Amino acid sequence: MAFPQRISRATPRDGIYVSQFDGSSVYGYAGTNQRNAPPICGEASGDFVADVATDPKGDLIAPSQLGEVINVYSGPHMCGPTAATLDDTYGLPVDVASADALTKPIAVANIEDDGPISNPPPGSITICSVAAGCTENLTNSQMYRVAGVAIDRRGDCWASAVDSSDSATLVYFAKCSGKGRGATGIQNTGYGGLEFDKKGNLLALDGNAAHLFVYSGCRPACKLVAGPFNLQGKSLYGKLDSKGTTFAAADYQNGKVDIYKYSTSALTYEFSFSQDLSKGASVEGIAFAPGL
Q: Quick one: pLDDT at residue 2? A: 47
Instruction: Report percent pLDDT > 90 for the chain.
Output: 87
pLDDT reading at 4 higher than 50: no
Distance CA 32, CA 258 (A): 10
Mean pLDDT of the chain: 93
Q: Quick one: pLDDT at residue 6? A: 45
3-state SS, residue 280:
helix
Confidence class for position 46, pLDDT limits 50, 70, 90: confident
**This prediction's pTM:** 0.94
Mean per-residue pLDDT, 17-39: 94
Distance CA 12, CA 183 (A): 40
Q: Quick one: pLDDT at residue 9? A: 45
Query: Any residues with CB less than 8 A from the CB of 110 and at least 6 apart, and which?
Result: 88, 90, 91, 92, 93, 94, 123, 124, 125, 126, 146
Amino acid at residue number 198: K
- Residues 46/66, Cβ–Cβ less than 8 Å: yes
pLDDT reading at 49 higher than 50: yes
CATH topology of domain 15-290: Neuraminidase (2.120.10)
Query: Any residues with CB less than 8 A from the CB of 91 and at least 6 apart, and which?
Result: 68, 110, 111, 112, 113, 114, 121, 123, 124, 126, 137
Mind listing the pLDDT tens digit for each residue in 119-159?
Answer: 889 999 999 999 999 999 999 999 999 999 999 999 999 99
- Residues 2/27, Cβ–Cβ less than 8 Å: no
